[in-house]
Amino acid sequence: SGAVSQIAIQATKSLVRILGEQTSDGYVLRVDLRLRPDPGSTPIAVSVDSAQRYYENAGQNWERMAFIRARPIAGDIELGKKFLLSLQPFMWRKNLDFAAIEDIHSIKRQISSRPIRNSNELNGHNIKLGKGGIREIEFFIQTQQLIWAGRYPELRHEYLLKATSALMEEGKISKETAQEIRTAYLFLRKIEHRLQMINDQQTHQLPKSDQDLENVAIFSGFGNVTEFKDSLLSVLNCVQEHYADLFETSPNLSLDGSLVFTGNELHPDTNLTLKTMGFSQPKSVFNIVSGWHYGRYPATRDERSRQLLTELMPQLLSTLSNTIDPDFALTRFDRFLQKLPSGVQFFSLIKSNQKLLEFLALIMGDTPSLAEWLSRSPTLFDSLITEEITQPIENSYNLKSKTISAIPPEGNIEDFLDLTRRSANEQKFKIQIQVLQNIINTETASQLLTNLAQTVFQQIWQVVERDFVRKHGKLLDSNMIAIAYGKFGGRELMPESDLDLVFLYNIDDSVEKSDGVRPLQPTLYFARLAQRICSALSAPTAEGKLYEIDIRLRPTGRVGPAVVQIDRYFEYLKTQAWTWELMALTRARPVAGPEEVQTMVCEGIRTTLTSIKNEKKLRVDAVEMRKKMITQQKDTSKWNIKHRIGGLVDIEFILQFLQLANANHNDQILSTSTLSALRRLKTANILCESAANSLEEALQFLQWLQFMIRIIGPNFFEREELQSRLLKVLVRHSSFSTIEEIIAEMDSQTDAVQRQFYQVFRSHLN
């Protein structure tokens, strides 16, 4: 029970304090509790049942090795013996466990086998964890006990020297090897004792200075430091030779240094290797990787998963080390791993497919936004597996064949919505990956994202409307359409863009209600249908969400009805619309509904835009509106590409104003696309060639920059502690050599836009 557990924890704390507390008389014993099951996530006193379950389900080979030397020493000795007896099947396998042997091989092969070449390397050497040290002797003997003692019980000795003799007697090691191991072990233990007698310190590290090392040499019975170093070097290299002979036919996995994540402390050589690879926090790396081996996540609870992970570790860390910030990339990978339901297939895939692993590292290291997305929806990983990830993407997506068949006859559309989300999110993910891989540029990506959004929107409209009609029937002689505004209307969608929409309908005045079993009057009918469509697009599910929907551009904004009659919509635009609403209208286009009604609305929009004649009022309103936006702007960062002075909004203001001011005598300048409108204004000589070229260059650069920031993650970009790292990512995925070059180009382009803005609006600005 909880009460018993708390009593045990408090008793353990008291015992540790009594034994380890420093008083005027010194202390009794140092106590290390980190060998309990998963010490990073368990209390210091663990129930017998919990421990047994842990070792049965998640016990690691290094823990089997640790239990070789375990014995009960206090408390209920009989209970301790029973506990150790219950672990016999975990420790000793009757049949040769080749999977376990492979795991042990992997651990050993990740330790650098480079010998100590000269005595100068001995200053500061760790005689327990360093090359040729006590730990390697223990590993040499205990791994062979794990392999053979299941079949030969006489090898099951907790005392290392007795185990060494037993291995020799069974013919598993030679007599000469046994003698050399015995001599080395006793020698190193003697030096260990001498080191710890100095100042009563818990240390295994030799002094770094020659003078202090000479003191140790004399204290250990040597005449001088040279004699001591020669003897120690001989012992360490002897141990290393025997250690290197273990599984000598297996390929080395240690890269240019050791990478060991067994046990409960960071090996000095592993610490050095991680730092050399570029990890700034080796201890954090050790804690994360150790957590995987403890089976804390579903993906690492299976023994085979952990064995694959051990084999994969050098390859994984090496690949992550090639990212801008390896520590950050590893943390993101850890979050992704946490959500995976299983690990065997995943680890097998990335172990055998370096390109796939590099894809994953690219996402984890360079794009925190995509990394979080992948962590929330690990199924997106499937889209990286196929070769399609690098294939050109078609300009439109026929999701119909993938989704329409999922709709059951009874009208439950949840399966359809989930399948649509999954398919669409995979495509959005794929588009962004291809931008990072320079397979497509950001302009193409925007068009693809827009085509995808329109296809998904039309598909969901069709299915939701079908389900809605089943419940509420139809309204005779009526239609509803949707108009896209903003980036959706201009075919310039970016990652995480909202869909700006306005819903319109027409109906015969004589129709009072729908003809279904649950009839609705027209205004309520269309309002609820539009609401259902928006919810289907924006509501989050297990498969994520599709798009945020913004319908505030409808007449009278938030206070107006969600769906407006077509005639009233155009009457509003003609008589009541603000200038900013007319500017927004330059990017409006129908995206769903009956074709004939869409055509009629297109003509109505064009008629509205070509009927505006008060150029002076347009200019005054546009300038005042821009001034108000600048005054109210909260984010004044230079990386606010859209709203900063000289940014994308200023380009849009210039082009939208010029279209409104000139469309009444030349409707060919109208286009919902910003780039197309700019080029048409140039062709019509409304913008001179130099001004148009300057604006086009700025537009394309700023749209590229905004798209890349959206991929990397604008929310992360705003965090000062991440910004310098993410700026390096931006450079990596650009044609620029340094971030200073990007900033200089950004400042140059926004200055050019400011000059053009002044030229267009100077009469009012003055």
* Tokens 């010029």 belong to residue: 658
- Residues sharing a CB contact under 8 Å with residue 181, sequence separation 6 or more, in sequence order: 137, 140, 141, 164, 173, 239, 242
Per-residue pLDDT at 187: 95
| pLDDT at 407 > cutoff 70 | no
Residue 64 lies in a domain: no
Residues 559 and 645 in one domain: no
* Domain carrying residue 482: 400-598
Range list of H helices, 473-578: 486-489, 522-538, 566-575
Q: 713 versus 659: which is more confidently predicted?
A: 659
412 pLDDT tier (thresholds 50, 70, 90): low
Cα separation, 57 vs 301, in Å, equals: 7
pLDDT tens digit string along 500-552? 999 999 998 888 898 888 999 999 999 999 999 999 999 887 777 889 999 98
Residues 438 and 510 in one domain: yes
Cα separation, 301 vs 38, in Å, equals: 12
Percent of the chain whose predicted confidence (pLDDT) is above 70: 90
- Could you give the 3-state DSSP secondary structure of residue 588? coil
Phi-psi region of 599 (alpha: psi -120 to 50; beta: other; left: phi over 0): alpha
Residues 214 and 301 in one domain: no
pLDDT tens digit string along 67-101? 888 999 999 999 999 999 999 888 887 665 555 56
Q: Calculate helix-pair angle for 326-339, 282-293, nearest 10 degrees.
A: 20
Mean pLDDT throughout 228-248? Answer: 85
Per-residue pLDDT at 106: 57
Residues 219 and 316 in one domain: no
Percent of the chain whose predicted confidence (pLDDT) is above 90: 45
Residues 289 and 193 in one domain: no
For residues 582 and 609, is the Cβ–Cβ distance under 8 A? yes
pLDDT tens digit string along 168-191? 999 889 999 999 999 999 999 999
- Residues sharing a CB contact under 8 Å with residue 607, sequence separation 6 or more, in sequence order: none
Least confident window among 10-19, 102-111, 189-198, 340-349: 102-111
- The CATH number linked to 716 is 1.20.120.330
**Structural domains of the chain, count:** 4
Q: Looking at 222, 249, 276, which one is the last position of a domain?
A: 249
Per-residue pLDDT at 394: 59
* Tokens 């078609």 belong to residue: 394
Per-residue pLDDT at 402: 47
Cα separation, 135 vs 108, in Å, equals: 12
For residues 699 and 651, is the Cβ–Cβ distance under 8 A? yes
Query: To the nearest whole number, what is the mean pLDDT of the chain?
Result: 86
Cα separation, 512 vs 508, in Å, equals: 9
Residue 19 lies in a domain: no
- Residues sharing a CB contact under 8 Å with residue 481, sequence separation 6 or more, in sequence order: 503, 504, 505, 566, 590, 592, 593, 594, 597, 598, 601
Residue 679, CA atoms < 13 Å, CB-side half-sphere: 8
Residue 8 lies in a domain: no
| pLDDT at 708 > cutoff 60 | yes
| pLDDT at 605 > cutoff 80 | yes
Residues 241 and 117 in one domain: yes
Strand partners of residue 549: 499
A 10 A CB-CB count for 201 gives 10
| pLDDT at 257 > cutoff 80 | no
pLDDT tens digit string along 106-162? 565 555 555 666 777 788 888 988 888 998 899 889 888 888 888 888 999 989 999
Range list of H helices, 96-219: 98-109, 134-148, 160-169, 175-197, 210-219
Residues 355 and 496 in one domain: no
Mean pLDDT throughout 626-636? Answer: 87
Residues 571 and 422 in one domain: yes
Per-residue pLDDT at 151: 82
Per-residue pLDDT at 564: 93
| pLDDT at 746 > cutoff 60 | yes
For residue 404 the two structure tokens come to 């329409």
Q: Looking at 220, 249, 278, which one is the last position of a domain?
A: 249
pLDDT tens digit string along 610-625? 998 888 899 999 999 9
- Could you give the 3-state DSSP secondary structure of residue 573? helix
Per-residue pLDDT at 766: 55
pTM over 0.85: no
Residue 21 lies in a domain: no
Least confident window among 37-41, 139-143, 165-169: 37-41
Residue 289 lies in a domain: yes
Q: Looking at 321, 351, 366, which one is the last position of a domain?
A: 366
Per-residue pLDDT at 352: 82
396 pLDDT tier (thresholds 50, 70, 90): very low
Which of 124, 125, 128 has its CA nearest to residue 209?
124
Residues 329 and 452 in one domain: no
Residue 176 lies in a domain: yes
- Could you give the 3-state DSSP secondary structure of residue 743? helix
Per-residue pLDDT at 765: 59
Residues 517 and 436 in one domain: yes
- The CATH number linked to 547 is 3.30.460.10
Cα separation, 400 vs 396, in Å, equals: 12
Per-residue pLDDT at 523: 92
Residue 703 lies in a domain: yes
* 3-class SS string, 258-311: CCCCCCCCCCHHHHHHHHHHCCCCHHHHHHHHHHHHCCCCHHHCCHHHHHHHHH
pLDDT tens digit string along 420-472? 888 888 889 889 988 988 889 999 999 999 999 999 999 899 999 998 998 99
* 3-class SS string, 691-730: HHHHHHHHHHHHHHHHHHHHHHCHHHHCCHHHHHHHHHHH
Mean pLDDT throughout 18-32? Answer: 83
Per-residue pLDDT at 96: 56
* 3-class SS string, 33-96: CCCCCCCCCCCCCCCHHHHHHHHHHHCCHHHHHHHCCCCCCCCCHHHHHHHHHHCHHHHCCCCC
Cα separation, 644 vs 621, in Å, equals: 19
Which amino acid, 635?
A: D
Residue 280 lies in a domain: yes
pLDDT tens digit string along 539-549? 887 777 889 99
Residues 429 and 464 in one domain: yes
Q: First and final CA of the chain: distance in angstroms?
A: 80
Residues 352 and 438 in one domain: no
Per-residue pLDDT at 417: 84
342 pLDDT tier (thresholds 50, 70, 90): confident
